Amino acid sequence: MRPPVLVLLVMAWTWTRFNYGFSSVAQPRHWAWQWWESLGSPKWVCSPMIDQSERAFRLLCRRYGVHLAYTPMLHAEPFAVDEGYRKTYFDAWTPVDGENGKDDRPLIAQLGGDDPKTMLQAAHHLEPYVDGIDVNFGCPTEDARKGGHQTHSPRCRRYGAYLLRDTARVTRIVGTLASGLRKVPVTAKIRLLPQRRASIDLALAIEESGAAALCVHGRTLAQRPKYAEKHGVESLAPDWDAIAEIARVLKIPVIANGGIESRTDAQRCLSQTGCAAVMSAEALLEKPDLFVEDEEPAIPRMLRLSREFLDLAERHPSPLKYPPTKSHLFKILRRLIGVDQAQARRKAAAGEPLTEREKLKLALMCCPVSDFHAIRNALDHMEEKAADHLLGTSWYRRWRPEEKGGDGSFPTCRSISREGHTQLGLQFPS
């Protein structure tokens, strides 16, 4: 005989109260939200990008709506022991409470590495100068797999998404930083695992280890657009639904990342995922004003942003031996002059006729990176001679052949095949 519905409801209510308590008072919010609010409850975020999210670029993005920015990733092992590396690769040596650094706040420094003690040692050098320490569990590059870094030091370790296979190591790193940092909290940036349940379990483990926030990139390691053709794996759409599920389960702020190409994308992602914030990376490199509404014509906007960045780069020079100044300009100007520098150089060397775009490109290429006057002249000349139409492919979509989505848009499927992961040497959980 089946029990009456009322009895079943009473049993369910009793079980719920037994497991979750009898108090009708709402559970207190996680302490991480107080820290998040101390940062101003940021909504739009500039991603950490190796040698690309330097101070001048961060300041440009902050002018156009970015509320929170990250430093370029710093390799923990050389940063922990090498003062020269610290001076070269970290560009925010102004204490958090110092007046001169307030234009670049809030700021989170990202570390890459695989040894908890070394990560903590490196983080202690950064604590007085930033608002948080982030651990890179998201980078999918070959350097992350091999453990290489800018100066090819043997002290560098594997980092990024390749550590996600080792949950124990991930939680040890986060836990060591959470318990050892004295002034700021630890956060983490991950990619999705092939199975959603595994992604949720990993996120919960990171939260339990003491992270104050988690950024989730909505693609797996095998979904790297750059290597899609090489490995026969499609560049698939970021899975915002998976990010939304993680955000619902976690008690700490979650930042959504992946597929953010415009302000409309950012707003849609925020709505669909319910996350605290949205992060953009490569699209910001071409459109530093991505997070603001702007109806200015494209070519004047590109040239204006290029000049603004150049002014900031001159005012806040990069400590790198090879500053990324022109690299940024080529990305901002990509649809105006293109980026195939090698072809333009070969044609010029062979004495072949050059297109107007190639002439403009070569003029910028020939400018010494430290000669700001010459670069400004090249931009002025570009303004006079620029074509009245733009190239079709943006920097963000450079690895996405048109045939994959008709107009270059993302495919709609949301999973990745077992074969695709196997081709990349990745374990596909059962």
| Residues identified as active-site | 139
**Which CA distances in Å does 152 have to 145, 155, 195?**
13, 8, 34
Measuring CA to CA, which residue among 42, 72, 73, 44 is closest to residue 57? 72
Cβ 159 vs Cβ 147: under 8 Å: yes
Q: Which run of H or of E encompasses 10?
A: helix 5-20
- Using DSSP's 3-state secondary structure scheme, residue 125 falls into helix
Rounded to an integer, what distance in angstroms lies between the CA atom of residue 113 and that of residue 79? 10
DSSP state of 289: T
Tokens coding 219: 């693609």
List, in order, residues 6 or more apart from 96 with CB less than 8 Å away: 105, 128, 129, 130, 131
Question: Tokens 């603004």 correspond to what residue?
Answer: 308
- Using DSSP's 3-state secondary structure scheme, residue 395 falls into coil
Side-chain half-sphere CA neighbours of 239 within 13 A:
22
Question: Tokens 């903590």 correspond to what residue?
Answer: 120
Q: What are phi and psi of 214, to 5 degrees?
A: -135, 125
Cβ 92 vs Cβ 71: under 8 Å: yes
Tokens coding 374: 């010459």
Tokens coding 236: 């698939």
Measuring CA to CA, which residue among 172, 171, 170, 144 is closest to residue 157? 144
Side-chain half-sphere CA neighbours of 226 within 13 A:
7
Tokens coding 298: 């494209």
Task: Give me the sign of the Cα torsion angle 138, 140, 145, 146.
Answer: negative
Rounded to an integer, what distance in angstroms lies between the CA atom of residue 198 and that of residue 412? 22
Q: What are phi and psi of 111, to 5 degrees?
A: -115, 145
- Residue 111, strand partner residues: 74, 135
Rounded to an integer, what distance in angstroms lies between the CA atom of residue 145 and that of residue 139? 9
Cβ 139 vs Cβ 196: under 8 Å: no
